[in-house]
Structure 1
């Protein structure tokens, strides 16, 4: 469970964790700074929705085709290049604005460029996590928990910081800081992963050709189509992400501007949601294994979304919404650990990057329309009508685990792993001891409690959520052939 030669090398893992924290902080600044910048400079909710559409549509496009590219170019190069492009794009916005050259179409183009480059970089860092865990001599469960914990903590701090900085210096200056975070993240990955073989271009992939590229993409899509639980999850999360994009990019900023008092309240609410998410993830890691996955997931997914929209629509003060955001954050904290664990169980090693891109694309498919629709709904039906309409869609989406039979596979998969644990790992100690050998080890041999729940405690349901390490084995029930390079 260590680097070649028997020694432990924790520097690459530390570099990725710190880069992830810096990048997540910058993402929070973007999430709050860009919508507020648009509202300040244009005063139009519709234009804020249009900018959100332009920023997220390329994310879906790059996720659809990005998996094979990452393997050929190399994960380190993709991550550094992604951060560089994103930093330049976001820094250009306030620069052009101060010189009077920032037309609305140019703002949309810069956001589209940043969106196009963002997802490959996130995917490249995330799929390295199992290899970095092995090299550092730590378990995958701990590495994944650390990866998610620093991201959640950074997003929480970044949201609060964004609200304060916007109030003190203006949204444009916040975007300068955002650009600097991308530069720091790029430098950390460039230096920290310089000598890491797993971060270099893969030598076992065939030469670049349209036929080979299409084959690799098709394998990722085919695996998703054959796994009905993953297909159900992607469909539901797609609708949730679409409505949340409308919430983050349009509805909450407009509500804060009109009723709550401005950017500080917006930052406070986002920070409270992040704090709740971090606490919920830690709480699930401690006691979540005692409950059936589907039960916990069904309750939490209902609490994390629709109540926010209803409270915002029916009240005009900060306190009720603040309490709701904390509760919603706590509930959301349990979702990613469950989804990540399920994905670890369902995706074989050889399809890691390809399926990661497909899952990301599917989950983010509705995001461009979510921001655009929310903007037009505010202008056409008013803020309250838009909040109730979008919240209704969210509620319908989150009823899925209670309605469709495919979600029963979530508990069946858990029971299978418990059976394997009793046969292979005894009371649970083996999973803790060999967790670094891959999710197959951590979940399959770890006992019903400790490794099974912790295996996904730090995962992120986005690019890179499907990562395993070591030779492993495809999980039972997938029925998928492991393709040769």
Structure 2
């Protein structure tokens, strides 16, 4: 079963790499063809709204159809949709509304696969004899490592191939991910079908989340941060690279350095995280992950300084997702796992469609620098709850893992 666990990580790495290629290729493609930050923000909206819809209503389907089947089908459909973008562009032509429609469908299809792979993790790690702290760190580390490689690779490939041909590579990564899971991951899920039906199963996931104040607070924080991160990653960094450096490689380097720092942070947390106080570790890492990397851009620091600070923020971010994963696997019963994780994903992503629109619109009105300062202030405010809210003190009672 250790081989199956590694195969799951490899498949997720391919899927994440394709996602990073798409996240960088699309905003640069829109900026290159329209020159409009508002239209770039609208494209971001088209890639994030379907995540919310699919996570909210597709997670119960994941429980009912099976984790492995949904992972394979999701990546297969996503890959074919992504391949359609450059094919249409190079043949009959690709209008902006059609691009938005394809982006919407691509993310609508991709999200259940991500939920399914995450839901498989505790079963496969237990069968492989891997402790949950190390399993969540490995999963997040592979995710961030793929982002670290995919982002600068995208910046280079945009110059070499152009953003439209880069999407060919994106589509192939999804097809390879589907093939890996189909061939190398067994069906490990136990009977999770809810005889009460789809609607009742969906309500059960929502009811569980409403009762858990700690996870509600964590999800609320992620709602705001995902909104901000979407605006920064999909709009503000592209504008910064275009206006300040004039080089798409700067876009890829900033995103890649963030991922590199996060990989290092995830490795450190996977090694020593079981001996650290979970609440304070989460609180400080959340603060450092958001504020400095945007503030340094707002202050107009030299590009090497921006890279260094971004790497530091990435290192802090490395502990965030593993801690959230432990929180979910500790507190969510196995029969509800996919639907509750999906509900949390939908809630956490609810602000993302607005992030790109907000960033693009604010930049058009007040300029790039002022928008970056505004985002920095919100990052600071949303980092407060782990330090002051009573619900977060439940993490202080979790027993550290053995060294």
Range into which the TM-score falls when normalised by the shorter chain: over 0.9
How big is the shift at 1:165? 1.0
For the residues of structure 2 that align with 1:291 and 1:356, how far apart are their CA atoms? 25
Match of 1:307 among 292, 297, 305: 292
Match of 2:187 among 181, 197, 201: 197
- SS at the partner of 1:352? helix
Where in structure 2 are there 5+ consecutive unaligned residues?
none
Match of 1:394 among 379, 386, 393: 379
Instruction: Quote the residue 1:110 is aligned against.
Output: 102
For the residues of structure 1 that align with 2:293 and 2:223, how far apart are their CA atoms? 18
Instruction: Quote the residue 1:429 is aligned against.
Output: none
How big is the shift at 1:124? 1.1
Q: Are 1:293 and 2:285 counterparts?
A: no
Q: Structure 1 stretch 335-344 or stretch 43-52: which is displaced more?
A: 335-344
**What is the TM-score of this pair, normalised by structure 1?**
0.79
Instruction: Quote the residue 2:16 is aligned against.
Output: 24
How big is the shift at 1:11? 3.8
Map 1:62-81 onto structure 2 (within 5 A): 62-81=54-73
For the residues of structure 1 that align with 2:149 and 2:230, how far apart are their CA atoms? 20
- SS at the partner of 1:101? coil
Structure 1 residues 68 and 151, CA, compared in 2 at 3 Å: closer, same or farther? same
Deviations along 1:198-219, one digit per CA (max 9) or x if unpaired, are 36xx756245xxx622211111
Match of 1:184 among 141, 155, 176: 176
Compute the RMSD of aligned alpha carbons: 1.9
- SS at the partner of 1:127? helix
From the CA coordinates, give the structure whose radius of gyration is larger.
Answer: 1
* Higher relative contact order (CA closer than 8 Å, sequence separation 6+): 2
Instruction: Quote the residue 2:115 is aligned against.
Output: 123
Deviations along 1:375-425, one digit per CA (max 9) or x if unpaired, are 11111211112212222222211122233222222213x2xx35xxxxxxx
For the residues of structure 2 that align with 1:146 and 1:288, how far apart are their CA atoms? 12
Structure 1 residues 76 and 232, CA, compared in 2 at 3 Å: closer, same or farther? same
Deviations along 1:175-198, one digit per CA (max 9) or x if unpaired, are 1111110111111112223xx333
Where in structure 1 are there 5+ consecutive unaligned residues?
1-8, 419-445, 451-485
For the residues of structure 2 that align with 1:136 and 1:296, how far apart are their CA atoms? 27
- SS at the partner of 2:188? helix
How big is the shift at 1:342? 2.1
Aligned length: 403
- SS at the partner of 1:205? coil
Between Structure 1 and Structure 2, the one with more helix by share is 2
**What is the TM-score of this pair, normalised by structure 2?**
0.94
Instruction: Quote the residue 1:354 is aligned against.
Output: 339
Q: Is the 8 A contact 1:260 1:317 kept in 2?
A: no
- SS at the partner of 2:148? helix
Match of 1:372 among 357, 379, 403: 357
